[in-house]
Amino acid sequence: MSQKNETPVLLLALLVTLALIAGGFWLLSNRLNLGNLFARDNAAQDGAAQDGSSDQTQSVPLQDRFSTGSTLLFTEGASSDKQEGIEAISSKNYDQAITALEASLTDDRNDPEALIYLNNARIRDRASYTLAVAVPTAKSPDPALEILRGVAQAQDQINQTGGINGIPLKVMIVNDDNDPDVSMQVATALVKDPTVLGVIGHFGSDATLAAAGLYQEGRLVMISPTSTSVQVSNEGDYVFRTVPSDRFTAAALSRYMLNTLNMQKAAIYFNSQSDYSQSLKEELTTALNTEGGAAIEFDVSEANFNARTTLDQAKQQNVQVLILATNTPTLDQALQVIQENDRTLPLLGGDSLYNPGVLEDGKESAERMVVAVPWIILSNPQTEFVQTSRRLWGGDVSWRTAMSYDATEVLIEGLRRNPTRQGVQQALNTPGFSVAGATGTIEFLRSGDRNQPMQLVVIEPGSRSGYGYDFVPVR
């Protein structure tokens, strides 16, 4: 055979070989989940687009963001039983839905979405009161699940005991992606839905502030279990929260720094693109200046942010303490500070730093860091809420679960007194209104803020978290 005839054959053989190699690599990467790791890294680098907006989140049709059971909002790892239950609810085959969702919870009892849909299915088509809970189911699934556990526990508890004056409670889960633009869209839709009598949410302060005016104008009570920005206090008499504001966090951290550590000057790390982080930084600065302390600032959202450089600058300016007022999307920058500091200077942090990622990735560099939180399970482990949550979920729950449980309990009490939108608002604004919750008595200031101090926790070696370090109450 001539060389001219051999060339096409050799080229074809080479192409086939390359295709086989590429196919083999594709199969190997899928087996090793390399694609998933790559996606996870990109998501972490993106920083959740500073609490929100992205083309992907905006592309989800609005109607697909709401579910009382006919739409699966947490798709990853969903069992066949759970999917069968959701399909059955969509077909109004409630007996099949109940059986399938009970089977799903037998395999994974730590799934609040399944428990909420199960309780909704048990209501069937009977009269019920509906509350909505807005969480970032796709964008930040872990905190979303923490919030939903509190709501699910409260719903399960009230329905198991006969409902609200005999009427069961239905829960609608809403995916807002923690995106201010999306939160406004879902708030508009919820205001227009007359069956919704109250809203639990939103997660981040940016999303809450974007939606709050719409709830106020539409006269629909919203209670955030997690948004701490002081700006939320000014949004109106239909806006509440069960988590204390940043003013309480700043007071707890500044007192600890000035009175316990006996140190005067801090470097505050914050994200200028986040309402929560900006609010906490401003409250910390005010609290320190009022009590004779001082602070310098570093914005972690700057494109050229470098933890090592800021620590060198802090040392040159005689900084004695580092305070992390960063938010969840800038956890990577906070971890860089923690690791570069490596226990050289005392570390303090806002509630956003109460995050398993700090324990997992910070490790010994995060040891002795003090964080302000609304509640920690170890502070009073024998309460009825704690015992019930452990039986229900098979483990300890976070402050976000406790705060969302409290928000649901507040709305349940409002519905018990007057099951209308205006009636709920009037009940919550009645002088002396209080409810027994997971974290003690729930009372509101005239601003709608929770009247409760923050607690301090410290990172110590331990085995509860599974990462070798735990958050435990400051002794």
Q: Is the pLDDT of residue 164 over 60?
A: yes
Determine the Cα–Cα distance for residues 141 and 402; give it in Å rounded to an integer.
17
Q: Is the pLDDT of residue 42 over 70?
A: no
Amino acid 475: pLDDT: 86
Q: Is the pLDDT of residue 412 over 90?
A: yes
pLDDT band with cut points at 50, 70 and 90 for residue 447: very high
Pairing relation of β-strands 196-200 and 169-175?
unpaired
Determine the Cα–Cα distance for residues 270 and 283; give it in Å rounded to an integer.
12
Amino acid 446: pLDDT: 93
Residues 353, 270 contacting (CB under 8 angstroms)? no
Determine the Cα–Cα distance for residues 172 and 389; give it in Å rounded to an integer.
21
Mean pLDDT of 40-69: 57
Mean pLDDT of 142-167: 97
Q: Is the pLDDT of residue 151 over 90?
A: yes
Q: Is the pLDDT of residue 22 over 80?
A: no
Average pLDDT of the chain to the nearest whole number: 89
Amino acid 410: pLDDT: 98
Q: Is the pLDDT of residue 41 over 50?
A: no
pLDDT band with cut points at 50, 70 and 90 for residue 108: very high
Residues 465, 224, 326, 452, CA torsion sign: negative
219-256, pLDDT tens digit by residue?
999 999 999 999 999 999 999 999 999 999 999 999 99
Q: Is the pLDDT of residue 48 over 60?
A: no
Residue 155, both tokens: 């719903």
Amino acid 39: pLDDT: 26
Phi, psi torsion values for 129, nearest 5 degrees: -100, 135
Q: Is the pLDDT of residue 38 over 60?
A: no
Give the CA distances from residue 146 to residues 160, 368, 387, 409, in Å, rounded to whole numbers and listed in that order.
21, 25, 17, 16
Tell me, yes or no, if the pTM score tops 0.85.
Answer: no
Contacting residues for 3 by C-beta, under 8 A, at least 6 apart = none
Does domain 57-244+383-442 correspond to CATH entry 3.40.47.10? no
63-84, pLDDT tens digit by residue?
999 999 999 999 999 999 999 9
Q: Is the pLDDT of residue 443 over 60?
A: yes
Mean pLDDT of 265-286: 97
Amino acid 439: pLDDT: 83
Amino acid 205: pLDDT: 92
43/160: higher pLDDT: 160
As to burial, measured by CB atoms within 10 angstroms (0-12 exposed, 13-18 middle, 19+ buried), residue 450 is: buried
Determine the Cα–Cα distance for residues 118 and 112; give it in Å rounded to an integer.
10
67-85: b or e for each residue (b if 16 or more CB lie within 10 Å)? bbbbbbbbeeebbebbebb
| Upstream peptide bond of 202 is cis (omega within 30 degrees of 0) | yes
Amino acid 58: pLDDT: 58
Does domain 246-373+455-473 correspond to CATH entry 3.40.50.720? no
Amino acid 215: pLDDT: 98
Amino acid 13: pLDDT: 46
458-469, pLDDT tens digit by residue?
999 999 889 999
Domains in the chain: boundaries: 57-244+383-442, 246-373+455-473
Q: Does this chain's domain 57-244+383-442 share its CATH topology with 246-373+455-473? A: yes
Residue showing tokens 């909420």:
116
Amino acid 59: pLDDT: 78
Determine the Cα–Cα distance for residues 183 and 475; give it in Å rounded to an integer.
40
